[in-house]
Amino acid sequence: MTTDANNKIEMVRFLPKLSYSTDQLQKELEDLLKAYPLKRGRLNLTHRKNETYQPYDNLFQSYDYEAQKKRFDEEEFSEFAEELKSTVFYKIYDDIREFSPMPLGRARLLEIEPRQCLHLHRDTNMRYHIALKTNPESFLIFPPAECIHLPVDGRVYLANTTASHTAMNAGHSPRLHYVISTGQRNV
Nearer to Fe ion, 62 or 100 (CB): 62
Angle among Cα 173, 54, 124 to the nearest 5 degrees reads: 70
Contact 1, 10 (CB under 8 A): yes
Amino acid in the structure at residue 187: V
Contact 36, 43 (CB under 8 A): yes
Residues near Fe ion (CB under 5 A) are: 123, 161
> What is the closest distance, in whole angstroms, from the C-beta atom of residue 161 to Fe ion in the complex?
4
Nearer to Fe ion, 84 or 112 (CB): 112
> What is the closest distance, in whole angstroms, from the C-beta atom of residue 27 to Fe ion in the complex?
28
Contact 125, 186 (CB under 8 A): no
> What is the closest distance, in whole angstroms, from the C-beta atom of residue 123 to Fe ion in the complex?
4
> What is the closest distance, in whole angstroms, from the C-beta atom of residue 122 to Fe ion in the complex?
8
Nearer to Fe ion, 87 or 124 (CB): 124
Nearer to Fe ion, 62 or 87 (CB): 62
DSSP state of 150: P
**58 burial level (CB within 10 Å; 0-12, 13-18, 19+):** exposed
